[in-house]
Every structure is written in C-alpha cells, then in structure tokens.
C-alpha cells in the first residue's frame, strides 16, 4: 500500500463518519416515528413507552448515536424495527441483488457508450456525431420511472416477453433471474448511457487533438488503430472518473428502478424502511451505499493514477 492510497482511504473514512452523523440526525428529526407507523391508532402512552424503552428510543440522541456507532464498529448493524430481522442479514440478502443490477446496467451502458463515443469523436461534426450526441441528450433527460414504465408497457404488457415485476433468485433459477432482471438493467442502462457516451466523446476529442495522434498517423498507423488504441487508451482514465461518479447516480437510479419493477433489492428495502421509519435499516443502508461510493471512487482514482505512467511512479514510489 502506498501513502497516496492510504491518505485517500483515510479521507474516505472521515467522509463516512460525517455521513453517519448526518443520516442519523436527519432520520431522527423527520416527523413521525416507527412506533406510530407500527401501532397507528392502537398506540397508547403505555405501549409507546414500553416500545421506546425496548428499542432505546427514550435515551438522548447522542447516546443513541454512540450506541449505534459502537455496535457498527463490532459489525453489529442492529435489528430492523419493522421486520425484527438483523439488519446485517437484510443487507447480505438484498445488497448483492442491487449490485448485480447496477453492474449489469453499467456494462450495458458502456457497451453502447464506448464505441458510440469513439465513433462520434472520430466523425466530429458529421451526421453520425450529431445523431449520437442528440440521442444521448434525449436519453439523459428521461427519468427512470418513465423509461421503466415504458418498458413494462411494451415488453411486459403488450409483447409479454418479460414479467412486469417480481423476482427469482439467481441461485434457484438463473434464466428466471435474467428474465426478471433484463428490464431493470435496461432502465438503468438507458439513463446512464447518454452521459457516458458524451464523456467518452469529449475525452476522445481531447486525445485526438494531441500531436502524438499526428505522429501515429504520420508513421502510417491505421486510422482505427489510432482511434481505438493510441487515443482510446489515454481516454480511458477521464472516462473512468466519470463512471466512478456515476455510481452515485446509479444507486439512486436503482432505488427508483427497483420500486417500478417491485424488485426486492436494497433500493426497495430502503424506500420501505424510510416509510416505516425503520431507523436501523435506513441508517445502515445509506451508510453502506456511501461506503460503496467512496470505495469505488478510491479504486477509480488509484486505477487512473496507475494507467498514467507519469503518476504511476508516485504509486510505486513509497512501496
């Protein structure tokens, strides 16, 4: 490990701690509480007091926070108020589903964005370029719930190719899992492709203006090799940075997408937990999302540094 990476991880931990405080304060200061959601009109002062004592909600906020944080550090995420299941178990079950969904969506998006962006950049100003950039702008402007609903209507209802909602576990029935996951993945892909394509195009344009592209051309390197390899290799790093930042957008996208498709991943879990003011689930869920975001971006930064030989030395320097 190098000092550069360690420093980044240190900043990441600090960020996580700030997130934990913010999440805790916000959720506890929202109007409403888990007990009124749970008991509704049957809440009496006695049962309320009993439940508050049970879940420790009667203690001062700082004490509650410290208790939660202390348990977190020992790996104990607490127990869900609404389902009475350990939060760790919920995360272990739901989070992988969302991650698969996000990864699938991202891969689909990259599959279109990378060649599309390269094509647009290499034919700058042509009809192809205009078509691709305008198309990405249009896609970028579509909200997930709208794309999701359109897909449900077309492929779920009219054509009846895919189930409109629900879930089968990957381990039980891989084909069924894929049938249930295709449309949510497509939804995520559609809304992320636009930005990625434009990013790839922009980084490629910068690279193609460089003198070393002229040198490659003057040495007779074939045009597609110049674009795909000489320029493409150097355009990876800036694109990667945007992909890292996109992870955040992907997460919020997953929340909405899972709701549209009734897909029981982390996003749907978080929405339901928020509605029922299930404090332990919301706090831990958001913290895990934040941690994922920070880790992804640290990895992206390190990989970008490694990709550039000029910064690679700083990574290797203090090994």
Q: Which residues bind other proteins (CB under 8 A)?
A: 124-125, 205, 208-223, 225, 230, 233-234, 307-310, 313-314, 317-318
CB count in 10 Å sphere of residue 23: 19
DSSP state of 85: S
Cβ closest to other proteins, residue 186 vs residue 227: 227
Cβ closest to other proteins, residue 103 vs residue 126: 126
CB of 78 to other proteins, least distance (A): 44
CB of 195 to other proteins, least distance (A): 22
| Residue 167 region by backbone torsions, left for phi larger than 0, else alpha for psi between -120 and 50, else beta | beta
Please name the residue ranges forming H helices in the chain: 3-29, 34-39, 45-55, 61-73, 87-122, 127-140, 144-151, 174-208, 211-218, 223-225, 232-261, 266-275, 279-307, 309-317
Cβ closest to other proteins, residue 145 vs residue 312: 312
Cβ closest to other proteins, residue 128 vs residue 150: 128
Cβ closest to other proteins, residue 71 vs residue 311: 311
CB of 229 to other proteins, least distance (A): 8
Cβ closest to other proteins, residue 2 vs residue 164: 2
Residue 227 near residue 208, CB atoms below 8 Å: yes
Residue 81 near residue 250, CB atoms below 8 Å: no
Distance of alpha carbon 273 from alpha carbon 78, whole angstroms: 14
Distance of alpha carbon 14 from alpha carbon 20, whole angstroms: 10
CB of 233 to other proteins, least distance (A): 5
- Residue 142 host element (H or E): none
Distance of alpha carbon 154 from alpha carbon 147, whole angstroms: 10
CB of 319 to other proteins, least distance (A): 11
CB of 300 to other proteins, least distance (A): 17
């Amino acid at each position: 490990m190098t000092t550069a990476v360690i420093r980044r991880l240190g900043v990441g931990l600090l960020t996580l701690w700030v997130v934990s405080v913010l999440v805790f304060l916000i959720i506890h200061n929202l109007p409403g509480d888990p007990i009124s959601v749970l008991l509704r009109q049957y809440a009496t002062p006695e049962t309320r007091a009993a439940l508050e004592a049970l879940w420790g909600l009667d203690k001062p906020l700082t004490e509650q926070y410290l208790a939660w944080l202390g348990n977190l550090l020992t790996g104990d995420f607490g127990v869900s108020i609404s389902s009475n299941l350990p939060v760790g178990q919920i995360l272990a079950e739901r989070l992988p589903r969302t991650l698969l969904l996000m990864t699938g969506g991202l891969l689909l998006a990259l599959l279109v964005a990378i060649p599309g962006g390269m094509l647009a950049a290499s034919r700058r100003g042509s009809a192809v370029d205009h078509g691709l950039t305008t198309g990405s702008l249009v896609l970028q402007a579509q909200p997930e719930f709208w794309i999701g609903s359109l897909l449900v209507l077309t492929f779920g209802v009219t054509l009846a190719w895919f189930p409109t909602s629900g879930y089968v576990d990957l381990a039980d029935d891989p084909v069924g899992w894929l049938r249930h996951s295709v449309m949510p993945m497509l939804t995520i892909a559609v809304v992320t492709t636009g930005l990625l394509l434009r990013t790839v195009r922009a980084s490629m344009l910068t690279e193609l203006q460089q003198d070393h592209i002229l040198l490659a051309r003057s040495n007779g390197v074939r045009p597609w090799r110049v674009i795909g390899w000489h320029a493409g290799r150097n355009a990876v790093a800036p694109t990667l940075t945007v992909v890292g930042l996109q992870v955040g957008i992907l997460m919020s996208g997953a929340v909405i997408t899972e709701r549209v498709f009734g897909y029981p991943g982390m996003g749907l879990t978080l929405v339901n937990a928020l509605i029922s003011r299930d404090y332990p689930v919301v706090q831990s869920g958001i913290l895990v999302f934040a941690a994922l975001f920070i880790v992804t971006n640290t990895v992206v930064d390190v990989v970008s540094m490694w990709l550039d030989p000029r910064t690679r030395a700083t990574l290797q320097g203090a090994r």
